[in-house]
A and B are shown apart, each in its own frame.
Chain A
Amino acid sequence: MLKLNTVQKISSHPTSKLLSFSAISIGLIGLLILIFAGFGWISSNPVLLFFSLAMMSAGVILYSVFLYKYVPAGIKNNHNMSSSISSKGILAWLTAMVLTAFYILLYWYPEYLGLHANGNFGLIGFFDPLSRFLKNQDASQWFVYGVLYTLAILIYGIKFIWKYRHSKYQIIRTISVMFFQFAFAFLLPELMLRLNLPFNDFKNMWPLNYYFFDECHIKELLQAGNIGWLMLVWGILMVVLISPVLTYLYGKRWYCSWVCGCGGLAETAGDSFRHLSDKSLGAWKIERYLVYSILVIVVLMTVGVLYSYFTGQEKFLFIQTSALRSWYGFLIGAAFSGVIGVGFYPLMGSRVWCRFGCPMAAVLGIQQKFFSRFRITTNGGQCISCGNCSTYCEMGIDVRAYAQRGQDIVRASCVGCGICSAVCPRGCFKIGEWECGYF
């Protein structure tokens, strides 16, 4: 009985509010140090950098501990539709503006972040000590971005695990995205740079990685000798063999919600925004036009770039290959995937890029729809049409429309995150595989 009373007290007690408040303060101080460094008010200092990153991490982690630890495990969606950050309130707009501004500087004006050939300053300079420690080079804007991106997935991943600690599927899936981001997208490529090897993210794959077949990238790999060849062969194998087989076996989730970095950020830092995705039929229509158009463009572009590489001709059919390549990089690679994809998280949900833009998701989606064992089966009779599944589908699938008819769900865009199954109060969904008879 004593234990029960303690639980009751902490969950509604001012102490819990005080603890959350101090956690937020710690995180904000860490962020302030970073902002001060960005404005050049603090000079590069490894100790301060460590404190800044550590305090931001501690802030988020402690906050989630205080938020979830003292309440029984279960779905925690209370007040999502009224709290400022998750319901397009002032905090959401502010966050979106700051993120968007950061992305614009990052892609097009890195000099304002402190990038300088004769010694960095500002934010990028602030990260020089860490960069030198890892790879004996000064930091670049991409190094700063990589560190912050990875840190976000790690600390918000911990928050996500706390939040869904009753679901082993969610825990294992989240550990997977955290691992692939930290080890494959961040640590391994940085260490390879230290060893003077080409930068390579072994889990990244064409066509998401649209520059894989660029002339300069292929040349870089070929110049690196055996290991470069290995990377080239691995990259091609991923596209033509590994990915189709895994998608056949498990659906596109093996990549989109278990491995991919874009998906990783969406599932962790973007979790508070998953319900903002547009569920209308109109949005579904736009999704299909847009994502498959981008797939066609990226294929054309890649064929063109390779054609130019092998023949030395600038023009493929009537297309100026290098111009197409640079426009794709600007519009799709930077503006869409970065600025809109992440910058607009608090306004349009966390999977805008994955749903409307990502050509990789388009390829995997076609496979999932037609050549995969993956499907979500439903306990159709038990559906009460409540709408939790549709609301919390980050890909904007109207899950309820299937569930209330007792239909299996096989949609190209489904990333298999499993949240529909988690939030359903009546246990209506099971993600699974069955032999579809193709092999």
Chain B
Amino acid sequence: MKNIYIIGNGISGVTAARHLRKKSEHQITLISEESEYFFSRTALMYSYMGHMQWKDLMPYPIEFWKKNRIDLLKTRVLSIDFKNQNLMTREGQNLNYDILILATGSTPNLSNWPRQNLTGVGCLYHQWDLQKLEEYSKNIQQAVITGGGLIGIEMAEMLHSRQIQTTMLVREKEYWSNVLPLEEAQMISAHIRRHGIDLKLQTQLKEIKGSDKVTAVVTDQNDEISCQWLGLTIGVRPNIDVFKNTELEIDRGILVDAMLKTNIPNVFAIGDCAQQRQAKPGRKDIEAVWYTGRIMGKTVASVICGERTEYDPGIWFNSAKFFDIEYQVYGEISSSIQENVESIFWRHPTVEKSIRINFDRTTKKVLGFNLMGIRFRQEVCERWINQKNDIQQVLQNIRLAFFDPEFFEDCSNDFIQLANQKTGMNIHLNAGWELNNVLNFLKN
């Protein structure tokens, strides 16, 4: 029986703990400075907007941890003595570990604007960020958010729910157009504006104004916008400052091999804080998303329990919701036009819905799916991409992927018509989307 400490109780650390418990009798301790119990970080916004209470954000009931003999420790680890395998906590406690898993997550990027420490300037990542926003936004009228990513739009939706007039400063040509293809990015930009958010594209923050509280910002277009809250949401970076100048090898994140081992024996790193020494083809070395964190947590548990396994992130997928528009992506979808990739893009004539399927121009193999306002079944898309299915085969069977609720509009005919027009193919739709057909497809 080994003594395993996991620093960080986010999705990576918790998944590692759960799977270690499933597979072994090791002593497991989860350490977190932020909160005693695991909560869904991605749901912070729903707490602020009043969709859920704080307790609803916790995926496991309190009894769960005791029942599964996972010890919880709420403290900050100040330093690690890797030689003697020792952790020193804020309270001065020395904890001896046999195995250490670093799952310290991310921390918000700040670009060192003068006066970024004024009251009323904040991020959205930690539980305390939410508390700060909650307290501070009670009596404010205007807010500015800088950054055009997922956290930025979440914060915009949050502030908007409290009738706070919100301006978003986005560096790119359209909202998130460094990730989304242009058409989809334009759709989301329009949707943001439809909700009454003042979206300023190709605009950046130049100056923060105020003496003790923020009173206004100046953009690089020299617009002055008065505000009582400034949200800094320009992305996140691995939370690894505590490891600087130690034996632990770091770059932008903690460097790990395919088995998630760091350069120090018995020390692993997973989740947002980990950086792959050798990223899989087509993948980034740091992927700060919920799903990869979860997969890494599961992998590290297997590795520690002696299985010969490697981290395999599988087919890339992600999802989000931009105000009312749901977004799902499976496989490779690039924001820029690529020479060897052909794209079939269909947009609903009246509603904010779209389907994009990318395939290889020469081999005709399907590469990726990008959905706005339409749900696709993950297993089906993954299988098509994994099996390197031909675009024609995929289009014929496109209904197998439909995951929208019953009675929702069936756009497959319109979509296929457009695909035929665009590619010169003559495709006829196969099969319905009855669950039976889907299950049969997945079984074979």
Chain A residues within CB distance 8 Å of chain B: 4, 7-8, 11-12, 71-75, 77-83, 166-169, 172, 280-281, 375, 377, 379-382, 384-388, 390-391, 400-401, 404, 418, 421-423, 425-427, 430-435
Report the bound CA distance from A390 to B57 in whole Å.
Answer: 10
Contact A74 B323 (CB under 8 A): yes
Which residue of B is nearest A379, CB measured? B378
How many whole Å from A414's CB to the nearest CB in chain B?
15
Tell whether A387 pairs with B50 under 8 Å between CB atoms, given A7-B196, A8-B196, A427-B326. no
- Which single member of B63, B321, B409 contacts A426 (CB below 8 Å)? B321
Q: Which residues of A contact B191 (CB under 8 A)?
A: 72
Q: List 28 A-B contacts (CB under 8 A).
A: A72-B195, A73-B324, A74-B323, A78-B50, A81-B53, A167-B405, A168-B408, A281-B61, A379-B379, A382-B317, A382-B328, A385-B43, A385-B59, A386-B46, A386-B52, A386-B57, A387-B56, A388-B46, A423-B51, A425-B321, A425-B326, A426-B319, A426-B326, A427-B319, A427-B328, A427-B403, A434-B435, A435-B436
Which residues from A are CB-within-8-Å of B317?
Answer: 381-382
In the bound complex, do residue A380 and residue B42 qualify as a contact, i.e. CB atoms below 8 Å apart? no
CA distance A284 to B423 in the complex (A): 54
Nearest residue, chain A, Cβ from B194: A72
A77 close to B435 (CB less than 8 A): no
Interface residues of B (CB under 8 A from A): 11, 40, 42-43, 46, 49-53, 56-59, 61, 63, 161, 163, 165, 191, 193-196, 290-291, 317, 319-321, 323-324, 326, 328, 375, 377-379, 403-409, 434-436, 439
With a CB–CB cut-off of 8 A, which chain A residues contact B328? 382, 426-427
Q: Other than the known A72-B323, A381-B317, A427-B326, what 7 A-B pairs have Cβ atoms closer than 8 Å?
A: A72-B324, A81-B52, A167-B408, A281-B63, A377-B377, A388-B46, A431-B406
> Contacts A72-B323, A78-B51, A380-B378 given: A387-B43 contact, CB under 8 Å?
yes
Q: In the assembled complex, which residues on chain A have CB atoms less than 8 Å from the CB atom of B59?
A: 385, 387, 400-401, 404
- Say how far A261's CB is from chain B's closest CB, in angstroms: 23
Contacting residues, chain B, for A74 (C-beta < 8 A): 323-324
Q: A381-B291, A426-B328 are in contact. Are A168 and B409 (CB under 8 A)?
A: yes
Tell me the minimal C-beta distance from A296 to chain B in angstroms: 30
B321 touches A79 (CB 8 A): no
**Which chain B positions have C-beta within 8 A of A280?**
61
Chain A residues with CB under 8 Å of B439's CB are 434
- Nearest CB in chain B to that of A375: its residue: B435
| B243 shortest CB reach to chain A, Å | 27
**How far apart sit A430 and B53, CA to CA, in the bound complex (Å)?**
25
B375 near A79: Cβ-Cβ < 8 Å? no
Residue contact A379 to B377, C-beta cutoff 8 Å: yes
User: Please, which residue of chain B has its CB at the minimum distance from the CB of A426?
Assistant: B319
Interchain CA distance A421-B375 in the complex, whole Å: 11
Contacts of A375 in B (CB 8 A): 435
| CB pair A385 B11 closer than 8 Å | yes
Task: Find out whether the CB atom of B52 lies under 8 angstroms from the CB atom of A391.
Answer: yes
> Which residues of B are found within 8 Å of A82, using beta-carbon distances?
50
Q: In whole angstroms, how far apart are the Cα atoms of A45 and B96 in the complex?
A: 84
Q: In the complex, what's the smallest C-beta–C-beta distance from A401 to chain B, in angstroms?
A: 8
* Given A384-B43, A387-B52, A427-B326, A434 contacting B436 (CB threshold 8 A): yes
B161 touches A79 (CB 8 A): yes
Contact yes or no, B321 A77, CB < 8 A = no
Q: Find the A residue at minimum CB distance from B52.
A: A391
| B326→A385 contact, CB < 8 A | no
Q: Is the CB of B51 within 8 A of A168?
A: no
Please, which residues of chain B bring their CB within 8 A of the CB of A401?
Answer: 59
How far is A67 from B138 in the complex, measured between Cα atoms in Å?
22
User: For A73, what are the chain B residues with a Cβ–Cβ distance below 8 Å?
Assistant: 324
Quick one: given A79-B161, A391-B52, A426-B319, are A384 and B377 in contact (CB under 8 Å)?
A: no
Tell me the bound Cα distance from A431 to B419 in angstroms. 29
- CB contacts (< 8 Å) of B290 on chain A: these are 384
Give Cα A168 to B317, complex, Å: 27
Contact B50 A390 (CB under 8 A): no
Contact of B378 (CB < 8 Å), options: A78, A382, A384, A431: A382
**Are A384 and B42 closer than 8 Å at their CB atoms?**
yes
Interface centre among B52, B290, B291 (most CB of A within 10 A): B52
A168 and chain B: residue at smallest CB distance: B407
Q: How far is the CA of A330 from the CA of B406 in the complex (A)?
A: 40
> How far, in whole Å, are A75 and B404 apart by their CA atoms in the complex?
15
Give the contacting residue for A422; candidates B43, B194, B405; CB below 8 A: B405
Taking CB as reference atom, which chain B residue is nearest A403? Answer: B59
Residues of chain A within 8 A (CB-CB) of B406 are: 169, 431-432
Nearest-Cβ distance from residue B189 to partner chain A, whole angstroms: 12
Most chain-B Cβ atoms within 10 A of its Cβ — which of A8, A377, A387, A401?
Answer: A387
Q: Which residues of B contact A379 (CB under 8 A)?
A: 375, 377-379, 403
Q: Smallest CB-CB separation from A373: which chain B residue?
A: B435
The docked-state distance in angstroms from the alpha carbon of A168 to that of B403 is 14
Distance of B162 from chain A, by nearest CB (Å): 9
CA distance A166 to B325 in the complex (A): 11
A77 touches B405 (CB 8 A): no
Q: How far is the CA of A79 from the CA of B165 in the complex (A)?
A: 17
> CA separation between A391 and B324, bound complex, in Å?
19
Q: How far is the CB of B59 from chain A (nearest CB, A)?
A: 4
B325 nearest in chain A by CB position: A74
Report the nearest B residue to A433, measured CB to CB.
Answer: B435
Q: Is the CB of B52 within 8 A of A381?
A: no
Chain A: which residue is nearest B14 at the CB level? A385
- The residue on A at minimum CB distance from B437 is A434
Q: Which residues of A contact B404 (CB under 8 A)?
A: 430
